[in-house]
Amino acid sequence: MRIERARGTRDFLPEEMRKRRIMEARMQDIAERWGYEEIRTPTFERSELFTLKSGEEILKEMYEFKDKGGRHLALRPELTAPVIRMYVNELKMVPKPTKVYYFGNCFRYEEPQKSRYREFWQFGTEIIGSDRPEAQAEIIALAYFIVKSLGIKAELHVGHVGLIRAILRDVKVEEAEINKVMRLIDKGEREEVIEFMDEIGAKKELIANLMRLIDSRGKEALEEARRIVTSDSDALKELEKLLEILDYYDVVYTLNAGIARGLDYYTGMVFEIYEAGGKLGAQNQVCGGGSYRLAALFGGIDVPSTGFAFGFDRLAETFALEERYLKRKEVVVVPIREGNDYDRDVIKEAIKITSKLREFFPTHLDVMSRSLSAQLSYAGSIRASFAVLVGKKEVKEGKVTLRNLDTGEQAKLSVAECVERVKAWFESSKGSGCAQ
């Protein structure tokens, strides 16, 4: 009986893993250069970490279970709440702002479809200690430059949940109802927003204003916001300051007051990045983030924070690895058998040169006692660049035979010369590497 993968999960084969590691390294490199440090949190947490803010409703969307000790646990659906829990427990004494990044798998009990999985990966960053426009701009710019460094065509939308919340608070809509409206807006369910507002007795003019604000983009959105949002102008002022700083970073964005974000914890700026090359279909949101306050909820003092998370898998599905990374630069060391077994001196020498080569390149050594032709045919099938032949004759002469598998040329060299030749070839990827 064949055992299939669990629904919504994937296997990653070596080529895909190579690509993902290269992407991860690029993201890490940029985050480090922006002064962020890596952290890691557990794969599962106590369920209340996620239900405290969002309520029991969220359990439906999570992998949650009771362990043998009867504790209620959940596989993490995201990493922001775990990071803030860790901050409250372990990091609150470190200097602020605390700037961290993470890369880890997340689990959501969703209906799987293209680019929507039950196990997926997030790469994210959080600034703990500030939700000021400067922190907001830094987080947005960091996400923007990482996406750019991957050469992915993308569109960045920036909004502020404070605008819509202010409008609704003005007319005394209750917090729970505001959250419901935000969730409907997040799902793009326009008709339901209108219906719900109507149900709770909102005036026609207010509903029209709200819908106009949600629908407008760019300059027009800012004008609408200035016209409609009157009482809580703090949100508007903060947004205006943020947009100014984003211009200094040379970040290209679209103002979109209709971004509500699915998660309940956002308190200020929110942003999303969408893949714009048409490669992802409906699930084209590759990044989400914003300002929030969770520390007090987890028993710490109230600390403002700002962060984002990439949908790593969605980025991987759009990222095209540069040509130069596609062919692995591999070497195969070929001990030459006489009869059915290797000569002791031959295998000893082969292991020695393999160890030397492994300091520099991925190097294979036969583990199946195969014949010379079988080993060379394996080298060909994995598209290795070089074979290093070690026979009794070579051992006696203190040399090895280096064969370039692309050109067929070969030369007898000392181990040191052999390493230098292979290095030079891989560096230039030109020349034969075997010329005497």
Tokens of 145: 């430059």
Rounded Cα gap, residues 307 and 15, in angstroms: 31
Is residue 74 within 8 A of residue 44, CB to CB? The reply is yes
Provide the minimum distance between the beta carbon of 36 and ligand HAM in the complex, in angstroms, as a whole number.
13
CB-neighbour burial class of residue 257 (10 A; exposed 0-12, middle 13-18, buried 19+): buried
Q: Which is nearer to ligand HAM, 84 or 245 (CB)?
A: 84
39 in Cβ contact with 32 (< 8 Å):
no
Q: Where are the beta strands (DSSP E) in 320-379?
A: 331-335, 363-365
Q: Give the containing element (helix H, strand E) for 18.
A: helix 14-33
Token duo for residue 46:
């106590």
Angle between helices 218-228 and 233-248 (to 10 degrees): 160
Q: How far is the CB of 420 from ligand HAM (least distance, A)?
A: 46
**CB-nearer residue toward ligand HAM: 63 or 378:** 63
Closest CB 110 distance from ligand HAM, rounded Å: 5
HEC sequence for 233-256: HHHHHHHHHHHHHHHHCCCCCEEE
- SS3 category, 126: strand
Angle of helix 133-149 versus helix 233-248 axis, rounded to 10: 40
DSSP state of 98: E
C-beta of 261 vs 399, nearer to ligand HAM: 261
Q: How far apart are CA 301 and CA 299, in angstroms?
A: 7
Considering the complex, state which of residue 256 and residue 385 has its C-beta at the smaller distance from ligand HAM: 256
Record the tokens describing residue 114, joined without a space: 């293209």
Q: How far is the CB of 342 from ligand HAM (least distance, A)?
A: 49
Rule CB under 6 A: which residues touch ligand HAM? 78, 80, 108, 110, 115-117, 120, 122, 124, 126, 262-263, 285-290, 292, 307-309, 311, 313-314
- In the complex, what is the shortest distance from the CB of residue 178 to ligand HAM, in angstroms, rounded to a whole number? 19
**Which two three-digit tokens encode residue 213?**
């604000």
Residue closer to ligand HAM by CB (options 158, 411) is 158
Residue 310 CB, shortest distance to ligand HAM, in Å, is: 6
Closest approach, Cβ 128 to ligand HAM, in A, equals 10
Q: Which one, 159 or 335, has the nearer CB to ligand HAM? A: 159
Rounded Cα–Cα distance for residues 390 and 414 (Å): 11
Query: Closest approach of Cβ 127 to ligand HAM, in Å?
Result: 9
Residue 41 vs 233, nearer CB to ligand HAM: 41
**Closest of 372, 350, 346, 373 to residue 363, by C-alpha:** 350
What six digits make up the tokens of 330?
């591999």
The residue (of 52 and 200) whose beta carbon lies closer to ligand HAM is: 52
Is residue 405 a contact partner of residue 384, using CB atoms and an 8 Å limit? yes
> In whole angstroms, how close is the CB of 118 to ligand HAM at the nearest point?
7
Report the nearest approach of ligand HAM to the CB of residue 361 (Å): 35
Q: Which residue is nearest to ligand HAM (CB)?
A: 311
| Closest CB to ligand HAM among residues 79, 333 | 79
| Cα-based distances in Å from 206 to 168, 169, 194, 197 | 9, 12, 10, 9
- Quick one: 125 or 363, whose CB is closer to ligand HAM? 125
